[in-house]
């Protein structure tokens, strides 16, 4: 039987925060994982823990300066937003047509909460065929942000500006001196007149139509024409035409899924080729291949993004019993114009949905931590529907219910049931499993054998953070 072996390191407090720049505001607990089962880690991240390499840590939410809430996206219900579609279309256009227009887009700062045990920069120069190209790390995040979007209306700033220009062109102010009794002041009078060339819409002409809508209508007319030829004189002609119209409307009105953008067939003469490879990587997670699990098994994986034979990004993910958990993304900054952070997150959501077909329990995409107190780190909330983890009862709450509470206080209990408690809180400290001198024993036995000062306070702290279930499964190393 596989067991996790961990070495609890206690609290680490009074050190610098990368979100608010506080010199001594960060507080977290941590432990070193010599090994860990995928189920144990799944249970730990569902209690607010997170790994960085083999170091597993948990922010002390009611004390740290910038509370970090575990966030998960409901991958099976995920709907691409307008900004997400822009990123997917940009990648598709680049691959299929070779469009290399590099739209200026700022990226969110890299998630800097990773503990000191991890270096945040490297140059990939090995057999991965990156010729001296620096791969920029996005620590635990996919932090590209698609700019120029009006969140309230779902319109880009460019579209809003065009509409404003059109409205302005339709409001022509009269001569201030030419007042007419009984009518509004000339300075506020609106006169609708044909706009000058290049200045807004001409109301005397029918509104413009999108080319794709025109093509769809022509295709529908052609289909109807063919049906008319084959069904001429048949009593079923009208019924067939109605069904055809209904089918066409349902197909047209149905929003595109993420798979419609990612797995679309490319033309044979596409100028670029984007490939993906996946392989196990060094991690404390023990790989598992149960018969009812995904074909690739559970564990930690590298996902390599190859463009025309050159690696441009590497994503690190953990595939767990109930989720795909995003850990890191490293990418070549020469390709930042493709918004690789957003694109890789969307691909990982699509990958989660693929794994769900073989492993029905696997249906969530974990995105690390959501930090509402840092405005630039709120972008994860755009992947919806998503939930945040209550820091006191460890129940999942829709993010829409959490945001008003976080506006009032950076630390908040999301579970509104005042009587609700942590169902997995430590009940029997003596049942905590301990590994001492290669022998597994309950803490109640170890405590009697122990020589020297009591360590009960430290074990109590550890057990309260990992919960009763994990404390009885995992082995707490004691020297």
* Entry pTM: 0.73
The whole-number pLDDT of residue 282 equals: 78
Q: Which of 93-97, 111-115, 157-161, 423-427 has the lowest mean pLDDT?
A: 111-115
pLDDT at 186 over 90: no
pLDDT at 324 over 70: yes
* Mean pLDDT on 432-448: 97
The whole-number pLDDT of residue 263 equals: 87
Distance between CA atoms of 189 and 183, rounded to whole angstroms?
A: 8
Q: Phi and psi dihedrals of 99, rounded to 5?
A: -70, 120
pLDDT at 441 over 70: yes
The whole-number pLDDT of residue 123 equals: 31
- Residue 66 binned pLDDT confidence (cut-offs 50, 70, 90): very high
Q: Which of 212-216, 313-317, 384-388 has the lowest mean pLDDT?
A: 212-216
The whole-number pLDDT of residue 151 equals: 36
Tokens representing 177 are 């001196």
Q: Please state whether the peptide bond connecting residue 341 to the residue before it is cis, i.e. omega within 30 degrees of 0.
A: no
- CA-nearest of 127, 112, 11 to 63 is 11
The whole-number pLDDT of residue 268 equals: 85
Cα angle 13, 369, 121 (rounded to 5 degrees) comes to 75
pLDDT at 157 over 70: no
Taking the domains of the chain in order of start, what are their residue ranges? 82-107+119-148+261-279+298-347, 426-479
- pLDDT tens digits for 194-244? 445 554 445 455 556 667 777 777 777 776 666 555 545 454 455 555 555
- pLDDT tens digits for 359-383? 999 999 999 999 999 999 999 999 9
Q: DSSP secondary structure string, 321-378?
A: SSEEEEEEEEE-GGGGGG-HHHHHHHHHHHHHHHHHHH-TT--EEEEEEE-TTSGGG-
pLDDT at 147 over 90: no
- Residue 131 binned pLDDT confidence (cut-offs 50, 70, 90): very low
* Mean pLDDT on 464-469: 98
The whole-number pLDDT of residue 218 equals: 77
> How much of the chain, in percent, has pLDDT values that exceed 90?
59
pLDDT at 142 over 50: yes
Mapping DSSP to helix (H, G, I), strand (E, B) and coil, where does residue 204 land?
coil
Average pLDDT, the chain: 79
The whole-number pLDDT of residue 163 equals: 40
The whole-number pLDDT of residue 120 equals: 32
- CA-nearest of 470, 284, 374 to 64 is 374
Distance between CA atoms of 79 and 95, rounded to whole angstroms?
A: 23
pLDDT at 338 over 60: yes
pLDDT at 152 over 50: no
The number of angstroms, rounded, from the C-alpha of 453 to the middle of its chain's C-alpha atoms is: 46
Among 107-116, 254-263, 418-427, which range has the highest average pLDDT? 418-427
Please compute Rg for the chain using Cα positions: 29
* Mean pLDDT on 97-111: 55
């Amino acid at each position: 039987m596989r067991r996790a072996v961990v070495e609890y390191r206690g609290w680490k407090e009074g050190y610098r925060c990368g979100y608010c720049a506080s010199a001594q505001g960060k507080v977290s607990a941590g432990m070193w994982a010599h090994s860990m089962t995928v189920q144990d880690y799944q249970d730990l991240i569902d209690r607010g823990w997170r790994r960085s390499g083999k170091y597993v840590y948990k922010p002390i939410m009611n004390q740290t300066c910038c509370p970090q809430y575990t966030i998960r996206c409901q991958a099976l219900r995920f709907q691409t937003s307008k900004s997400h579609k822009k990123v997917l279309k940009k990648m598709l256009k680049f691959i299929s047509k070779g469009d290399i227009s590099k739209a200026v887009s700022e990226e969110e700062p890299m998630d800097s909460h990773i503990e000191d045990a991890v270096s945040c920069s490297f140059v990939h120069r090995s057999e991965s065929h990156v010729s001296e190209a620096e791969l920029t790390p996005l620590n635990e995040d996919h932090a590209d942000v698609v700019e120029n979007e009006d969140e309230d209306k779902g319109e880009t700033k460019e579209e809003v500006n065009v509409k404003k220009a059109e409205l302005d062109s339709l409001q022509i102010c009269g001569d201030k001196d030419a007042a007419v009794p009984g009518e509004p002041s000339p300075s506020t009078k609106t006169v609708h007149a044909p706009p000058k060339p290049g200045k807004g819409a001409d109301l005397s002409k029918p509104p413009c139509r999108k080319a794709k809508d025109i093509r769809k209508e022509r295709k529908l007319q052609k289909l109807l024409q063919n049906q008319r030829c084959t069904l001429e004189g048949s009593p079923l002609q009208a019924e067939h035409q109605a069904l055809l119209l209904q089918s066409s409307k349902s197909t047209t009105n149905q929003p595109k899924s993420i798979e419609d953008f990612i797995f679309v067939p490319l033309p044979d003469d596409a100028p670029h080729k984007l490939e993906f490879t996946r392989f196990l990587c060094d991690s404390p997670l023990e790989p598992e291949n149960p018969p009812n699990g995904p074909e690739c098994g559970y564990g930690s994986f590298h996902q390599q993004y190859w463009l025309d034979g050159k690696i441009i990004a590497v994503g690190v993910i953990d595939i767990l019993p109930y989720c795909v958990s995003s850990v890191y993304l490293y990418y070549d900054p020469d390709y930042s114009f493709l918004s690789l952070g957003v694109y890789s997150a969307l691909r990982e959501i699509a990958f989660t949905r693929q794994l769900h077909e073989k492993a029905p329990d696997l249906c969530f995409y974990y995105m690390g931590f959501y930090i509402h107190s840092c405005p630039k780190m709120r972008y994860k909330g755009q992947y919806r529907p998503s939930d945040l983890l209550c820091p006191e009862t460890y129940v999942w709450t829709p993010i829409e219910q959490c945001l008003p509470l976080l506006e009032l206080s950076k630390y908040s209990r999301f579970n509104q049931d005042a009587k609700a408690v942590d169902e997995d809180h430590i009940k029997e400290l003596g049942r905590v499993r301990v590994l001492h001198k290669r022998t597994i024993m309950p803490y109640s036995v170890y405590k009697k054998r122990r020589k020297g000062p009591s360590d009960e306070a430290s074990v109590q702290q550890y057990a309260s953070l990992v919960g009763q279930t994990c404390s009885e499964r995992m082995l707490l190393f004691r020297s």
